[in-house]
Amino acid sequence: MKKRKFGLALSLILAAGTILGACGSKDEEKAGNTAETESEFSVAMVTDTGGIDDKSFNQSAWVGLEAFGAENGLKEGKGGYNYLQSKSDADYSTNLNTLVREDFNLVYGIGFLMVDAIAEIAEQRPEVNFGIVDGVVEQDNVASITFKEQEGSFLAGVAAGLATKSNKIGFIGGMEIEVIERFEVGFLAGVEAVNPDAEVDVKYAGDFNKPELAQPIASSMYSSGADVIFHAAGGTGKGLFKEAKDLKQKDPERVLWAIGVDSDQSAEGEVEVNGEKKNIILTSALKRVDRAVQDVATKAMNDEFPGGEVISYGLAEDGVGLAELNEELENKADILSAVEEWTAKIKNGEIEVPETRDQL
């Protein structure tokens, strides 16, 4: 089957309210003029064990569905937009089947861990449209959504390389899979581009929803002199934030940073030090899962569902990027200028960010 890559189309078409032309009282005419036609389209998603409050990947997807629902007059729940959270891997197929039986027009599996489940259920129910985020399923009723994570993490590497004072930087990945490898490689390339003297210590936690695994890794890295650590580990990354905040409270004068992922995680870095509010989040490598699920849902609603296609979202499509830099950065202006410069180079094709260790 032929697969094509499409850029991000951000235009969401709102179904206009139907104007009812009928005789009657002025109140009736007013009611008719403001009535909206509710969409008959419905969409839902299945999360992994992190749930919609993971402050990361799943939450971003749910924000996208909520925005899609608001744009199109849908209500949360059956017949509108909804989600089911998985308590374990064994729940993926069950939850997908539940949403199919509830007659949702489009059902998403959020995360590469659901590739097999989506492939199985999509084959059984060819009349239903599915979306898989961060994976590829080669079936006509499945839209495969991927991202150029390496481009956003490259910018995070630029920020880290220019922010570090010790020239020691850390990277904490969730699981050693292709998606996280792109984060790792892009980050390493970004650091190298602006600060070839910096060393990056790479470690993997082996899970996406266990903060207790990331905290000791972060502790070891900070103890070894690292002053900037980037995580691409979903909910596991909360352990990095906790360690950074604990160290900041113990030693208010110490300069150390953490970099978030997927969503703007600056709220996770707030810490009170000697009665003063500080924030240990340098920035976050954004992965706009919200925009991607909105985009594909809109296409499906408009009978343009990209079944059988692989849709890739990068910097040029505004599918990845970098969140605001921390105001406490001494050289914020210089870092921002460098980020903008490298963003332009990537967008215009002047440089191509590596996505595998071999390419790096």
* DSSP 8-state assignment for residue 39: P
Residue of higher predicted confidence among 46 and 31: 46
Give 259-301 pLDDT, tens digit per residue: 999 999 999 999 999 899 999 999 999 999 999 999 999 999 9
Closest CA to 198 of 157, 247, 233: 157
The beta-carbon contacts of 334-338 under 8 Å, at least 24 apart in sequence, are 334/162, 335/158, 335/159, 335/162, 335/163, 338/158, 338/162, 338/194
d(CA 306, CA 59): 24
Contact 141, 128 (CB under 8 A): yes
Q: How confident is the model at residue 34 (pLDDT cuts 50, 70, 90)?
A: very low
> Is the pLDDT at 24 greater than 90, yes or no?
no
Query: Tell me, which fold does domain 39-147+288-313 have in CATH?
Result: Rossmann fold (3.40.50)
Contact 59, 293 (CB under 8 A): no
What residue spans define the domains of the chain? 39-147+288-313, 149-287+319-347
Q: What pLDDT is recorded for position 203?
A: 98
d(CA 235, CA 174): 9
Q: Do 39-147+288-313 and 149-287+319-347 share a fold?
A: yes
d(CA 317, CA 292): 10
Q: What pLDDT is recorded for position 33?
A: 37
User: What token pair was written down for 85?
Assistant: 């959270």
Q: How confident is the model at residue 181 (pLDDT cuts 50, 70, 90)?
A: very high
The phi, psi pair for 189, rounded to 5°, reads: -65, -40
Q: What pLDDT is recorded for position 17?
A: 39
Q: What pLDDT is recorded for position 53?
A: 87
Q: What pLDDT is recorded for position 55?
A: 78
Q: What pLDDT is recorded for position 39?
A: 61
Contact 147, 195 (CB under 8 A): no
CATH 1.20.120.610 fits 149-287+319-347, yes or no: no
